[in-house]
Chains A and B, each alone.
Chain A
Amino acid sequence: MKKSEKQDQLKNSSTSSKGAIFFAYNNKEIDYVKLACLSAISVKAHMQIPTTLISNTGSIESYKHSTEKSSTFLRTAFDTIIKEEPENLHNVRNYYDTPYASYKAQFENSNKHKVFELSPYDQTILFDVDFLVNNAILNLAFDVNSPIQLYRNAQTLKNTEPDHNLDRRLNDAGIPLYWSTIIYFDKSPISKMFFDMWAHVKENYDYYQSLYKFPEGLYRTDFAVSISMHLLKNFIEYTDDVFAELPASPMKYMSYKDDISSVDKNGIVFFVNDYKEEWKNILTYSEGENLHMMNKRAIERHYNELMGLYV
């Protein structure tokens, strides 16, 4: 049987399972499990697929005891919880909350590539916990014959290209950035090859940092994924149907310096910050759009109202 026929069979099989996966490890500043609950509930509301949380006991227990509703949210949000300890590598990230506040905290993302082995589904979409699903468009990914799908193009709330060069390329003249925010994959040998390559890049991150000349320090999975794609495409940038863009490209994102003004019953009003003149903001309203919400503190400030969009 040809490989493509095998993939067709995998997709068309009535027993083929589909689902969403979230990694969440709390740090001293951010309750990632809490964010994962909101994201998973948005997935369930709009995509109607099962969800799995990958986390550790410390993070789950800490969230469960944080509010009275936490245990209920956790049960509503996730069908399955897989306990997996992160590698606890030193990886300190600089987070922003609007242009006027910033904080540093340990960021656990070292085991994200293990999702291929950990996923209980035949077809999986891996979501970052700060992604809110507000329509069903990503369900199309399950019906497309591409083993790996992710976003290469992103757009700010002002409908422009990313302000920061590092959100477009790995350096000023570098290879294009692929976002690891959402990754669709199946259990095909090609998908396995992609995740094996990601593991290899992660293991040799310092070497690839010097080769691809992106900033030192933080392990960023976007960079690891971008390099893996570059290596698997034989160092040439092209679009094909093996490593395809997810439906609804470009991915829309709220940057760290944007803020939420208010949330109504259908959508979110944002303050969109001007990257070059940071005292300036414009208001935008987003309804029915999928959103990568980078400012996690803003999510926390409006958590209950955001939850109200989905329950």
Chain B
Amino acid sequence: MDSKLEKALDFSNFRQTLYNQQQTLFSKVEDLKLLTYRDRLIKTSEQLIALTKTMIDLEYAEFVVDDVNGNPVKIDDPKDFLENIVNTYANAKNEHFQGYEKIRKARSIKKLVNFE
């Protein structure tokens, strides 16, 4: 096989593996964003954190958010809730960053899949 073509195909294999590892990391991080609050499953996000902080700043004693199934959940202790969601979200994104850095630095399929 032409060496240029071989090199291109190797690169294409590498990119596919890289993409797959990034997707795997992404879905792992999405799971890490989950927490339970008052018997409901909630996914943390930048928007949820911003909303909660706004409600606290505007001195709402309680407010309502949606769980993962779209059901309303009453947040009756906004400060405690904010602490929980910030912790969960920060841990998830920290994992994302660390995993991403590891993938970004890998220059071969073997390195990407920890084969060495």
Q: Which A residues are closer than 8 A to B by beta carbons?
A: 8, 11, 135, 137, 140, 143-145, 155, 158-159, 239-241, 244-245, 247-248, 250, 252, 261-262, 264, 266-267, 269, 282-289
Q: Which B residues are closer than 8 A to A by beta carbons?
A: 13, 16-17, 20-21, 23-24, 27-28, 31-32, 34-36, 39-41, 67-71, 109, 112-115
A237→B9 CA distance, assembly (Å): 44
For B23, the chain A residues whose CB sits under 8 A away are 159
Contact B41 A11 (CB under 8 A): no
What residue of chain A has the Cβ atom nearest to residue B23's Cβ? A159
Contact B39 A247 (CB under 8 A): no
For B40, the chain A residues whose CB sits under 8 A away are 144-145, 241
What residue of chain B has the Cβ atom nearest to residue A135's Cβ? B31
What residue of chain A has the Cβ atom nearest to residue B71's Cβ? A241
The number of inter-chain residue pairs (CB within 8 angstroms) is 78
Residue among B20, B35, B115 making CB contact with A159, cutoff 8 Å: B20
Contact B24 A140 (CB under 8 A): no
For A267, the chain B residues whose CB sits under 8 A away are 114
Contact B24 A286 (CB under 8 A): yes
A13→B70 CA distance, assembly (Å): 27
For B115, the chain A residues whose CB sits under 8 A away are 261-262, 269, 283, 285
Residue among B17, B27, B31, B71 making CB contact with A284, cutoff 8 Å: B17
What residue of chain A has the Cβ atom nearest to residue B32's Cβ? A137
Contact B71 A155 (CB under 8 A): no
Contact A282 B16 (CB under 8 A): yes
A279→B8 CA distance, assembly (Å): 20
For A286, the chain B residues whose CB sits under 8 A away are 24
A284→B28 CA distance, assembly (Å): 14
A127→B34 CA distance, assembly (Å): 21
For B71, the chain A residues whose CB sits under 8 A away are 240-241
Residue among A241, A269, A288 making CB contact with B69, cutoff 8 Å: A241
**Given A239-B70, A244-B69, 18 other A-B residues pairs in contact with their CB atoms under 8 A:** A140-B34, A143-B39, A144-B36, A144-B39, A241-B67, A241-B71, A247-B31, A248-B31, A262-B115, A269-B115, A283-B109, A283-B112, A284-B21, A285-B21, A285-B24, A287-B114, A288-B28, A289-B27
Residue among A244, A247, A262 making CB contact with B34, cutoff 8 Å: A247
